[in-house]
Amino acid sequence: MKVRTRFAPSPTGYLHVGGARTALFSWLYARKMGGQFILRIEDTDRERSTEESVGVILEGMEWLGLDYDEGPFYQTDQFIRYKEVIQQLIDTGHAYYCNCSKERLAELREQQMANKEKPRYDGCCRDKNLADADNTVVRFKNPLEGDVVIEDMVKGRVVINNRELDDLIIERTDGTPTYNLTVVVDDWDMKMTHIIRGDDHLNNTPRQINILKALGAELPVYAHVPMILGDDGKRLSKRHGAVSVMEYKENGFLPEALINYLVRLSWSHGDQEIFSREEMIQLFDAVNVNTSASAFNTEKLLWLNQHYIKTQDPEVLAELLQKHIHFSYYNTDNGPDLIEVLKVFQERCSTLVELAEEIRFLYDDFDTYDAKQAKKQFKEATLPIIESLKQQYTALDNWTAEAIHHVVENTVNTLEVGFGKVGQPLRLAVTGHGKSPSIDVTLELLGKEKTLKRLDQAIDFINNQNT
């Protein structure tokens, strides 16, 4: 049988990194096994589900490159089908109507907790043969004896006694189906062979297996992957930083880096850290997923992102960078060729946002300096150095890195000062912040006209500072 996996998010918010990793693992397993990957939108929570969230999920999947073979399917299109299955369960004696009031259930729960018992429905209406009415729900008649055995690809054999389970509601009083019913019907109808999902769903699995058995359906293979924690050991949330996939895009991360990072959360292949997409597909095996939760490490993600930025084709990188340059409000038409700039700068930055800001000085004029650097580098003794550089660069016709460097060396020798006394003030003068690659390459990219203009500006600043 052809392997079929699925990703089934609820459109009640953004696509978070935990969901993205689940989608990735499902996608990888399907691709490795030559199977199919299906996208299903579980939108039965009508109050919280939004079209905007659906759009964000689809956008996130596309950005990550997690293409799906079928879908997206929407659960709200399947209400007639759910109704049919619920009626089938009632007709075959696997479900029943229940009219227990909220007050009775609250009182039952309170009593059970007082007795230090696990809160659960007591089967009050199980054998009453009630008819459908305005105040009734439908409950699944869970087996009273035996065990549910889950041969989990990640966790191994998990055994749950049926006495631990109660008769869960599968249809509410308003006629809408509940989560455990809709998931079962969809997985059955879509012929899912493998269900890879977060281990927060493990408690639902025995209930779903029992419903599948009552329907005479073939059981899928389950794999429950551990959750992702923050670096403080608590469940990952916004307090730990970005958790939305699209927020990482906005913050200048490459999809290759995020995918590479997510695949290494709870899965590994020896000590290998960098994986191409093809290697992930070839090497991934859900059986080798760790059972323990993984901590999200932003520093590790930044390291990976820097790797993918510095190894990216400069032309491709230039396209990716345009959006971030736009948001930084400067125009690359007013300066050196962006691709040539990236060949020099792309090794220096961890995100596209950082890279866009790092190269800004090449295109955008400034009239302020980093205060700490200015205090350190722009002293009165610096003035003759900057003036000497300006004089020599004004006379320089061959504006190349080699010739530019020769001027710096000549200034060091003529004024009998250390290279740092020349290079650092010069770098601050032309960048405004004092950070750049080698000063000769930097000035070649900046161009003669802008270099001279900024040396004049630095001279004025030093004179005004010491007036």
Which CATH number do you get for residue 141? 3.40.50.620
Give the rounded percent of residues in the chain with a pLDDT score beyond 70. Answer: 99
Residue 296's pLDDT band, with cuts at 50, 70 and 90, is very high
Per-residue model confidence as pLDDT tens digits over 7-48 = 999 998 889 999 999 999 999 999 999 999 999 999 988 788
The rounded mean pLDDT for the chain is 95
Does residue 213 have an active-site annotation?
no
pLDDT at 241 (0 to 100): 67
Q: Compute, in degrees rounded to 10, the torsion defined by CA atoms 419, 422, 426, 432.
A: 80
The neighbour count for residue 403, using CB atoms within 10 Å, is: 16
| 305 occurs within a structural domain | no
**pLDDT: which is higher, 229 or 68:** 68
Q: Which of 2, 128, 234, 238 is catalytic?
A: 238
- Phi, psi (deg, nearest 5) at residue 206: -60, -35
Q: Count the domains in the chain.
A: 4
pLDDT at 146 (0 to 100): 97
Three-state helix/strand/coil letters over 130-150: CCCCCCCEEEECCCCCCEEEE
pLDDT at 327 (0 to 100): 78
Token reading at 144:
């009273």
Per-residue model confidence as pLDDT tens digits over 212-255 = 999 999 999 999 999 999 888 888 776 766 688 999 999 999 99
- Cβ-based burial of 460 (10 A; exposed 0-12, middle 13-18, buried ≥19): exposed
pLDDT at 242 (0 to 100): 65
210 and 324 both lie in a single domain: no
Q: Which of 250, 276, 299 represents a domain boundary (last residue)?
A: 299
pLDDT at 466 (0 to 100): 75
pLDDT at 398 (0 to 100): 95
- Average pLDDT score over residue span 394-413: 97
pLDDT at 329 (0 to 100): 83
| 307 occurs within a structural domain | no
Residue 85's pLDDT band, with cuts at 50, 70 and 90, is very high
Give the rounded percent of residues in the chain with a pLDDT score beyond 90. Answer: 91
pLDDT at 71 (0 to 100): 96
Query: Is the CB of residue 5 less than 8 Å from the CB of residue 27?
Result: yes
212 and 115 both lie in a single domain: yes
67 and 93 both lie in a single domain: no
pLDDT at 320 over 70: yes
Residue 203's pLDDT band, with cuts at 50, 70 and 90, is very high
Angle at 7 between CA 323 and CA 190, to 5 degrees: 135
The neighbour count for residue 234, using CB atoms within 10 Å, is: 11
- Average pLDDT score over residue span 332-342: 94
- Average pLDDT score over residue span 319-332: 89
Token reading at 322:
């345009």
pLDDT at 374 over 70: yes
63 and 82 both lie in a single domain: no
Cis previous bond, 72, omega within 30: yes
Angle at 438 between CA 381 and CA 249, to 5 degrees: 120
pLDDT at 416 (0 to 100): 94
At 244 the three-state DSSP class reads strand
pLDDT at 210 (0 to 100): 98
Question: How many residues appear in the chain?
Answer: 467
286 and 323 both lie in a single domain: no
Can you give the residue range of the structural domain that contains 320? 312-362
pLDDT at 328 over 90: no
200 and 116 both lie in a single domain: yes
Provide the terminal-to-terminal Cα distance of the chain, rounded to the nearest Å.
84
| Residue given tokens 């396209």 in the structure block | 319
pLDDT at 1 (0 to 100): 79
351 and 424 both lie in a single domain: no
Helices 298-310/255-263 angle, 10° precision: 130
